A and B are shown apart, each in its own frame.
Chain A
Amino acid sequence: MADTIESVLRKVIAKQANLEESEVKPESTLDELGVGSLDLVEIIMSIEDEYGVEVPLDANEAAKSIKTVGDVIALGESLGLGRA
């Protein structure tokens, strides 16, 4: 079975934050994971590379609208990622 969008994005965030995937929970805030605004840009770019899409968010908008791991997952889902 292919990885779900949630597990892919948790892996991406874990890699960027240098954490174990199990530490990255949907309710974790990016702040408490030590993910800064440019880390978030890097995560968005990883999503773009992984799925071959473009996510039109600048550093400022991203930091404003994305506060938790769940927000990143919701962003991925809103882009329709991970669907066949």
Chain B
Amino acid sequence: MDDRRVVVTGLGCVSALGHSVEAFWSALAEGRCGIGPLNISAPFELKVSIGGTIPEPDPRTMVDQRRLPMLDRFSVLALVAADQAIKQSGLALDGDQGLRTACVVGVGVAGWEAIEDSYRRVFLEGAKRTNVFTVPRVMPGAPASQVSMAYGVRGPVFGVSSACSSSNHAIASAVSLIRSGAVDIALAGGTDAPLVYGILKAWDALRVLAPDACRPFDRDRKGLVLAEGAGIAVLERADHAKARGAKILAEVAGVGMSADAHDLVAPTVEGPVRALRACLADARLAPEDIDYVNAHGTGTAANDMTEIEIIKTVFGEHARSLSISSTKSMHGHALGASGALELVAMVEAMRVGLVPPTVNIQNLDPACDLDVTPGVARERKIRAAISNAFAFGGTNAVIAVRPFLG
């Protein structure tokens, strides 16, 4: 009998918290925030002054230098994360296995670096032409294609885009591909590099960026903090992973998706509730089986208020027994990469038995009357966990994981 459960056999990430899963997890476990002053070239006024910037060394130094002219920053980050995940999985994909492998990478919008660079040259400097690689660098499918080329992935390869839920939609797509029998393995996750002047100006205009810190569930929250990053997971059919003796990190128990069909930016309660319930049903888990919720937790009032209500609606009385946290308070909101970073957080939390905290809470909002794990991590055996992503566009995608028990 086929065992078409989907398991995680490799994880990789790069973010404001460093260049590896180890660095990422140790920061989360210590409640260390990676958000700091922006270090970008701003030709004119810019209101926002903080972000989740990847520290030194520059990830560009970590990829094959011959590929750099074709790589926008979001592709660089995807390659750095994919390399770690593939190494951990022990897979070689350049032989026949690559034909039965997918690569699905979520992207918030596009490769901003090349757009900005081209527009500056064309509009400000009157350049005769843009960089010749602008189009292939910018396209939302570029990170998935770049990873496929670097490692020999020759099955289904494509980008997925649904703003801040892109990663979770990419992971859900990959899970479907494995369950359908189309592939044995899928590299799945997300990437984004939005710390670019023109894009920061656009976010400035939305007036949802925090000037000081990302404080989800705080009475005095001021909004979200943008960040760059990427996360990639190696997902694999359970019998395939077992047959090759792979180390299995977790099982992706279920996925659930829904749309609000209501407003492009304002969230609803009803839409996310359906995604959560679909996820639990897909995982054959009862609400009482969940111990940890990695919240969407952006740090905006609109999100906090609805997310608490969503959790209460789905979990009822059990909501009070849940551990909840927003790791965005530490790695920032990496948009299309957020869900993948949060998958890493969730799997590591489960493996270690430690709930990462929500940091920067000074005055807990009395309306957030659930355990949002303020300040410090908490030891807890996690039987199963879910990660929420509720995006602009009213698109919702939720992932559930649990330990793989054979």
Contact = CB atoms under 8 A, between A and B. Distances in A.
A29 B280 CA distance: 39
B263 interface: yes
A37 B205 contact: no
Contacts, number: 33
Contact of A38 (B221, B222, B265): B265
Nearest to A60: B301
B93 interface: no
A19 interface: no
A58 B205 contact: no
A58 B207 contact: yes
| Range, interface on chain B | 10 to 19
Contacts of A58: 207-208, 222-223
A26 interface: no
* Interface residues of chain A: helix, strand, loop or mixed (majority): helix
Nearest to B210: A58
B314 to A, nearest CB: 25
Contacts of B300: 59-60
Given A60-B223, A60-B301, A36 B205 contact: no
A36 B263 contact: yes
| Range, interface on chain A | 10 to 19
A59 B208 contact: yes
Contacts of B202: none
A41 B205 CA distance: 8
B266 A37 contact: yes
A45 interface: yes
A62 interface: yes
Given A58-B208, A63-B302, 18 more contacts: A36-B263, A36-B266, A37-B265, A37-B266, A38-B206, A38-B265, A41-B205, A41-B206, A41-B207, A45-B205, A58-B222, A58-B223, A59-B206, A59-B207, A59-B208, A60-B221, A60-B222, A60-B223
Interface of A: 36-38, 41, 45, 57-60, 62-64
